[in-house]
Structure formats: structure tokens, C-alpha cells
Amino acid sequence: MVDLSSQTLSQLADLKKQIDVEIVRRKESEKQNLRAEMQRMAAAAGLSLAEVVGSGEKKTRKVTSTGVAQFANPADASQTWTGRGRKPQWVLDWLAAGKALDALRV
């Protein structure tokens, strides 16, 4: 084991950088070796590595619509609300005035 107590702060920082670089290099090397071994195993079974572990492509998430506007502001028709989530301020103001939500329905 190396005696680190005799090293200067600069020397320790350099050593740490070298260690970090070596760790990354070795991880990459191990990953390549493991991939090669897995390819050999898959080939021995008559399969490709992609067939065994998948193609590596991320599955796409199903796109959902934001919803159809169910309510519209009578003062400004560009302001709409689907009826989901928090009520917009104009809906809250409408309800606070004692008016019915159904009156805003599109």
C-alpha cells in the first residue's frame, strides 16, 4: 500500500485524477470483454446478442392527447379548459360569482 501521508496536496490531486481515469478505462475494458463473451455465448446458442438482450432501442412512450376543451371563457374564447387538473382562474372567478359551471360548457 502506498503511504499517502507523505504526499503533497498537489500530488494527491494528480493521483486522484489518474485513478479516476484508470477506473473509467477499466470499466470500459470490462464492458467490452463482457460484451464479447456474451456474443460468443449467444452465437453458440445460434442467436445474436440483439435477440438475447434486445436491440437497445428505447421503447417509445404512447403519446396521449391533452384533451378536448370542455369549457370556454365567455369573455375570451381563446381561454379553454378540458375539465382536468386545476381550474383556471377565470373558472374560479366564474364560480365565485355564483354562476354554474355548466354555463361555460362548449
Predicted TM-score (pTM) of this structure: 0.46
Question: What is the DSSP secondary structure assignment for residue 98, as one 8-state letter?
Answer: T
In a domain, residue 60? The reply is no
Total count of domains within the chain:
2
Q: What angle do CA 53, 54, 55 make, to 5 degrees?
A: 130
Instruction: Determine the structural domain holding residue 17 and report its residue range.
Output: 7-53
pLDDT at residue number 89:
94
Query: Please, what are the averages of pLDDT over each run of 10 residues along the chain (106 residues)?
Result: 88 94 96 94 91 76 81 91 92 93 90
In a domain, residue 25? The reply is yes
Same domain? For 19 and 49 the reply is yes
Same domain? For 48 and 83 the reply is no
